[in-house]
Every structure is written in structure tokens, then in C-alpha cells.
Chain A
């Protein structure tokens, strides 16, 4: 693995002539600039505009455009029970989906690590849910799978006493989470599988000689080895899942009532149904601030992951 030249360490005194160093530094920066500038413009500018609009009262369907309104949007956001419940719902749905998907992912990774006939095909089957267009997955689950009249799930569960359940009405919360888990378990499985396959074989043999049975080996050696991978999976899964939108919009439209309204959907509603640009902007800013707080924990974890990448 290529070693990164450590440019951050100060050069030995007097060894590097000044002129070359400056030119060298700018030569190195040049290739990075297009991507950097592009990202800053496309991601930070909208955020600054959002910040601006959050202090404005701006309703799309009203004439007159935007006018300054101070922090009233923010007051609204903090007092709106819908915002709080949408936030809470996002957190809980994401947490449940990520944890269950990871637990399943570990189990499936252990399975896929064993040699058996057709293992490659099974792996391909398992990763497919992740590849399916989330919109398509949401619609297929909503219709052919979960429909009370003709859904496949009801038919499969009939021998167990399930009778034409309207999943998306009576168990909306659970149904959306199940679809999220279904789509993201392959992601967790692949990450954990990479970790499993990176385990040194002779360490496992040493454990065998030392008298550890399969479960003890898994508990004492494999799980500690997998820890950074599991952390990475949970971190990335949370980042992706907390902004998940397709399932809510296409399966339940946030309902019934607001049972499945997550933060992304709440914002979508504010823009498209309330036409409240200012309010959506304020809610967006609050979301971003919360995300930054969480993300700084996440980045610290990523730094640790980053370390283990360098260690090879």
C-alpha cells in the first residue's frame, strides 16, 4: 500500500530552498481546487441562502415575495409539536432500522463467510435489495407485497393465522421500518463481511488449538476484530437513513395521520403543501445544526476508522 508522504511534518532546517517549496505547494493544490471549489459552491451556497431565507417570511403562494421577519420562523419551529415529533420519529426509526439491519448484517455475513455450494449466487441475491431503486422498492412493497386484498405477505402468513392485515394502516410505522431494514441489511452485510474476510486465518487456528469452540472464538476474537467495521456500518447507515425519504412518501405519505412523518418528509410537506419557504428554511437550519452536532461525534469516529485504514 502506498505510503502517504508526510508533508505536514516540518522540513529539516535549511534543507528545503524556499522558492521550490512555495511553488511545490501550489502545484499540489491545483488538482484539488476544481473539486473543492465546486463542492463549496454547490453545497455551501444553498446553505447560506437557506440561512438567509430562514429569517424571512416567504410564502410561495402569497404575492409580495420575501420580507424580513427576524427569528419568528425559529420560534415557530421550536414550538411546533409536529417538528418535534418528526424529529423524534426520524431518530427512532433510524435507530431501530440501523440496529436491526446491523444485527441481521452480522448474521448474514457469518453465513456468507462459510463455504457452501452456490454461496456466490446467494450473496448476489442478498445484495440486490440495496440495488433496487428505493422508489420502486417502496411502491412494490406498498402494492404487491403489503396490500390487504392481494398482497403476497398476507398470503404467506395465512397459515400463521394472519388475516388480510392492512399493514400500511395498522402497522405503518413498522412497515416503513421493515422496508428500510430490507434495503439496508445488504449494506451492513457487505461491510461486516469485508471485516470477516480480513481476519487472519492463523489467529483463528491458534484459538482452535487453545481450545475455543466456534461460539467462544466468535465472541472473544471475531467480534472485537469486527468492532471498527460495525461502527463504520452503523455510522454510514445512520447518515444515509436519517435522510431517507422515498419510503415514507410512497408508502404512507407520512400517515396515517403523522405516524410515519419523518424530518425529511416534514420539510417536504412544508415546502410543497404549506408553501412555506421561510419556515422550511428555519426547520432546515435547525436540522443542519443538530446534524453538525451529531456529525462531529461521527467524524471523530471516522477519524478512528481512518486510522485503521492507514494501518492497513
Chain B
């Protein structure tokens, strides 16, 4: 893909009309626009197709050639709606619960690693990151046994605990990076004004950091909601989440594509919307706070 813009073409013609420069600018922009939109739609296409298929009756979903015009129906969604009750409830509880737990643990930890740091803050940070590097897949067998013995198997508490552990390093790094942006002068001024530890937190730090907390929470929600591996191995019915619901929409026999698409759409839409809202913080979350 050539990165040379149209504006690079050298001109020697004296006093070329202003119009040609505008024209070159516009055509250059148009070129990028076309490329951009083509790429954007190409990436979005499978999702678009998923949503379209969700509105099809099964008969129209498994056809050749694939149908683009059909009479849309909400019957798939109705089926999904009927079936997903407990699953979506479990997902919501596990997601919100684990996110709250994460924030409660991560906020003070981030504080202790940025504004009023402990002696070995570098080591602590690396420890947290290293837990993310250890594959949870490795311990899944023993985890199952532990959960069983602790009577936590197939329970939402188990998911809350594990998801919180999964997201904690991320949250600590993210919130820490937000706290680092509190201007030292503000903290010093507050200290001079006689603010104690508590006031320092509520009146100086929280206002600056709040938007960051929201985006951290949203990132944690995304990862917790989408998680499959732990849910698959450690839950059965009492705590099964939306990813499990999706798997169950694939029956052994019979037509299922439209139904699956509807289930996939319903399962994915909440997080997609959350992600669109938290777009700006996505980078910070994904890079664990290394990039602003």
C-alpha cells in the first residue's frame, strides 16, 4: 500500500492556480476515505452478517446463495429471549460483582504504587503483571478439584473470585497510570492547605481520576463478560454464563444458524456498546496503562 500522498508531486509551474492545490487536497483525502471505508466495512462484515442473519427465519439462513433480502422476523430473538434468562443473569452478576471487587482492591493498591508509593513498587508491579503471564489453562484441572472441595463448583462466587483475579493486574496498572496524571502541585497545594490523607483522596485525587475509573471498570466488564474457558470448565447450570448459552445454541442436529446468530448478537451487543463508549480508554486498558 503506497503511503505517498498526492500532494507530494513536485510542481515547477510558476503561480499555479490555487484551485489545483485544493483539488489535489480533496482527491487525496477522497482516496484515503475510500480505502478507509472499504477496510472498515471489510472488518465489520462478519458482525454485520451476524446481525442480519439474526433477523432471518431459519429457512432463509442456510441458503445458497446467501440471501440479502428476506422478510425479517423477530422470532429468533424471541427464542433467545426465552432461553437466555438465567444465563444473562449469571453473566451480569459475575461481571458486575467481579468488577466491583476489582475496583475495591485496585484503587488502594494503585494509590500505594503511584501517589504514595511503597519502597518496592517496581517489584510489586512486576509481580502483578507476571500473574497475567501465567496461563490459567495450566491449572484448570487442579482448579476444578479445589473448587469442588471448597463447594464452590458451579457457583457465581467462584466466577467472581476468579474474574477479579484475572482483571486485577490490568486494573491496577490502568488506575495507577491515571493517578500518575494528578499534578504534584495540586497534591502539594492541598497538603499545604492542611488536607489530611482522606481529604487528599476525595477532593484532589478522585475528581481527576474518576473518568479513568469508569473506563477501567468498562474494560474489566468487557473481559469478564466475554470469558469462556473458566466458565466452561467450572460451571454447569447454576452459574453458567452467556458464552455457555451460545454454545448451547448449537444443537446436535437441525437448523440453527439464525438462532445462533440471534444468540451471538444478544450476547455481544452489550459489550460492543460498552467498548464503543470506552473507546478512548481502550488503548490504555489494552496496554495495561503503559500507553496513554
Contacts and interface: CB of A to CB of B under 8 A. Distances in A.
Interface of A: 1-5, 7-8, 25, 28-32, 34-36, 38-39, 42-43, 45-47, 49-50, 52-53, 58, 107-108, 110-112, 114-119, 121-137, 139-141, 143-145, 147, 149-152, 155, 182, 185-187, 190-191, 193-195, 213-215, 218, 229, 232-233, 236, 239, 242-243, 245-246, 249-250, 263-264, 267-268, 270-272, 276-277, 280-281, 283-285, 287-288, 291-292, 295, 298-299, 302-303, 305-306, 309
Is the contact region of chain A dominated by helix, strand, or loop, or is it mixed?
helix
B136 interface: yes
A87 B231 CA distance: 24
Contact of B138 (A52, A140, A285): A285
A39 B41 CA distance: 41
A91 to B, nearest CB: 13
B14 interface: no
Contact of A236 (B8, B65, B260, B287): B287
A100 B194 CA distance: 55
Contact of A144 (B50, B263, B286): B50
A73 to B, nearest CB: 11
B158 to A, nearest CB: 11
Interface string B247-274: 1011000001100110110011001101
Contacts of B45: 152
Given A2-B182, A43-B134, A306-B125, 19 more contacts: A25-B119, A35-B172, A53-B142, A123-B279, A126-B44, A127-B275, A131-B268, A133-B264, A136-B268, A137-B46, A143-B256, A152-B46, A152-B66, A190-B282, A195-B291, A236-B287, A264-B229, A271-B141, A309-B289
A132 to B, nearest CB: 5
B142 A49 contact: yes
B172 A3 contact: no
B141 A280 contact: yes
B228 A134 contact: yes
Contacts of B226: 133-135
Interface in B154-202: 161-162, 164-165, 168-169, 172, 177, 179-184, 187
B47 interface: yes
26 contacts: A31-B111, A34-B105, A35-B105, A36-B127, A39-B168, A43-B165, A110-B3, A111-B39, A124-B276, A125-B43, A126-B43, A132-B272, A136-B50, A139-B264, A141-B46, A145-B46, A150-B63, A190-B282, A193-B283, A229-B291, A245-B228, A267-B138, A276-B141, A281-B141, A284-B139, A291-B133
Contact of B181 (A1, A136, A280, A292): A1
Contacts, number: 356
Nearest to B37: A122
Nearest to A219: B3
Given A133-B264, A214-B3, A299 B64 contact: no
Nearest to A250: B247
Contacts of A186: 43
Contacts of B168: 35, 38-39
B97 to A, nearest CB: 14
A44 to B, nearest CB: 8
Nearest 3 CB-CB pairs, A to B? A284-B138, A31-B108, A35-B109
Contacts of A149: 62, 64
Which of A2, A239, A306 lies at the interface centre, i.e. has the most chain B CB atoms within 10 A of its CB?
A: A2
